[in-house]
């Protein structure tokens, strides 16, 4: 049992949260206190902007990342001092990882006793935007939460740039849960530029991971974002056709692209003979005023599926 790596008191509280009626829930002080501390938004939230294109609900339990990607969005803007560290920390509001588990499941149930919030069952939860979810520091907690939540019917999307976790015992346990293949879709980011991503697995290792996951029966997606070199991004997509269920393609924020290059890139995507399923992010569609995604072919989808 993956959750056994956390202390038994936390596990007890989690099970209680799953089983309680609303009245009992409100009377159970430790849970009530955790919910108050969480303010209902700390573990599961609704992303905005470009992040929302990935999923309407997400969970960020950690901040900081050893990936050290040169283009990392967490290292920019006013929150860079908080989010942009090269080391991982649990978000301060949780205190301990056991607390994070409790708060996550309290928010999952949303005061409905043992019933998961419908919007989370139907939309799933994306993990995550403020670190890599599969680092040695982050994967155990994420796997623990996913292992329990998929049994309750909640779908998850994981987006990572590392691959070592696929050799871990935790993954071996997680992948054997009967609901895993139906409820879990796993993606990697592919830019083709290892030189800009010194702290993560190589792009080739990530491609191999997608192939492995597909062969294991998991749903897969590739985040082709940011497009740094359009020719490189095109060749990566072509290399992954056949074992990737969805390509999410987006440009780098705050960078000006030559419109002709973007048009040529999208035309080349449309010409891929196998017609892979592609979602062009708003950052690309901004170059095509008056067009819809379907203008490029029926394999260009307009909304991102739960998978």
Pick between residue 189 and residue 220 the one whose CB is nearest to ligand SF4: 189
Closest CA to 279 of 261, 294, 268: 294
CB 244 within 8 A of CB 220: yes
CB 240 within 8 A of CB 262: no
11, two tokens: 């596990």
Answer yes or no whether residue 132 interacts with ligand SF4 by CB under 6 A. Answer: yes
Pick between residue 26 and residue 51 the one whose CB is nearest to ligand SF4: 51
CB 71 within 8 A of CB 135: no
Pick between residue 185 and residue 191 the one whose CB is nearest to ligand SF4: 191
Pick between residue 65 and residue 249 the one whose CB is nearest to ligand SF4: 65
Minimum distance, C-beta of residue 91 to ligand SF4, in the bound complex (Å)? 14
Pairing of strands 89-90, 219-227: unpaired
Minimum distance, C-beta of residue 122 to ligand SF4, in the bound complex (Å)? 27
Minimum distance, C-beta of residue 72 to ligand SF4, in the bound complex (Å)? 3
Give the N- to C-terminal CA distance of the chain in Å, as an integer: 26
Query: Would you list the DSSP string of 262-302?
Result: HHHHHHHHHT-TT---EEE-HHHHTTSTT--GGGG-TTB-S
* Burial status of residue 89 (CB atoms within 10 A of its CB: 0-12, 13-18, 19 or more): exposed
Minimum distance, C-beta of residue 114 to ligand SF4, in the bound complex (Å)? 34
Pick between residue 22 and residue 68 the one whose CB is nearest to ligand SF4: 68
At 79, give phi and psi (nearest 5°). -95, 10
Minimum distance, C-beta of residue 158 to ligand SF4, in the bound complex (Å)? 12
Task: With CB under 6 A as the rule, give the number of residues binding ligand SF4.
Answer: 10
Pick between residue 37 and residue 137 the one whose CB is nearest to ligand SF4: 137
Contact pattern for ligand SF4 over residues 99 through 128, marking x by CB under 6 A: ------------------------------
Among positions 161, 206, 219, 293, the unique one binding ligand SF4 when judged by CB under 6 A: 161
Pick between residue 161 and residue 293 the one whose CB is nearest to ligand SF4: 161
Cα-Cα-Cα-Cα torsion 136, 142, 147, 149, nearest 10 degrees, comes to 180
Q: Using DSSP, how many helices (H) and how many strands (E) does the chain show? A: 14, 8
Site for ligand SF4 in 56-95 (CB under 6 A): 65, 67-69, 72, 74
Pick between residue 138 and residue 220 the one whose CB is nearest to ligand SF4: 138
Site for ligand SF4 in 186-245 (CB under 6 A): 200
Minimum distance, C-beta of residue 83 to ligand SF4, in the bound complex (Å)? 8
Query: How far apart (Å, rounded) are the C-alpha atoms in residues 95 and 102?
Result: 11
Minimum distance, C-beta of residue 109 to ligand SF4, in the bound complex (Å)? 29
Contact pattern for ligand SF4 over residues 32 through 61, marking x by CB under 6 A: ------------------------------
CA pseudo-torsion sign 197, 200, 201, 203? negative
Pick between residue 71 and residue 243 the one whose CB is nearest to ligand SF4: 71
Closest CA to 246 of 171, 188, 179: 188
Among positions 42, 59, 60, 131, the unique one binding ligand SF4 when judged by CB under 6 A: 131
Question: Rule CB under 6 A: which residues touch ligand SF4?
Answer: 65, 67-69, 72, 74, 131-132, 161, 200
């Amino acid at each position: 049992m993956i959750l056994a790596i956390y202390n038994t008191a936390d596990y007890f509280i989690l099970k209680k949260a799953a089983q309680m009626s609303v009245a009992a829930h409100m009377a159970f002080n430790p849970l009530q206190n955790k919910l108050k501390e969480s303010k209902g938004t700390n573990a599961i939230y609704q992303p905005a902007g470009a992040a929302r294109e990935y999923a309407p609900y997400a969970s960020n339990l950690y901040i900081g990342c050893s990936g050290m990607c040169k283009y990392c969005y967490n290292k920019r803007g006013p929150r860079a001092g908080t989010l942009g560290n090269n080391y991982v920390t649990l978000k301060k509001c949780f205190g301990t990882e056991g607390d994070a588990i409790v708060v996550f499941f309290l928010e999952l149930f949303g005061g409905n006793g043992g019933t998961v919030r419908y919007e989370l069952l139907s939309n799933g939860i994306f993990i995550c935007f403020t670190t890599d979810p599969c680092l040695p520091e982050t994967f155990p907690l994420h796997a623990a939460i996913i292992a329990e939540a998929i049994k309750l019917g909640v779908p998850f999307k994981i987006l990572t740039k590392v691959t070592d976790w696929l050799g871990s015992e935790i993954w071996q346990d997680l992948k054997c849960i009967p609901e895993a293949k139906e409820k879990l879709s796993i993606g990697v980011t592919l830019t083709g530029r290892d030189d800009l991503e010194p702290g993560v697995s190589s792009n080739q290792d990530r491609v191999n991971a997608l192939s492995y996951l597909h062969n294991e029966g998991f749903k897969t997606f590739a985040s082709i974002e940011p497009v740094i070199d359009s020719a490189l991004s095109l060749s990566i997509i072509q290399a992954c056709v056949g074992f990737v269920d969805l390509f999410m393609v987006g440009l780098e924020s705050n960078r000006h692209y030559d419109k002709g290059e973007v048009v040529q890139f999208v035309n080349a995507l449309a010409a891929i003979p196998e017609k892979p399923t592609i979602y062009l992010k708003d950052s690309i569609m901004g170059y095509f005023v008056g067009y819809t995604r379907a203008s490029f072919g029926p394999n260009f989808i307009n909304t991102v599926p739960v998978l």
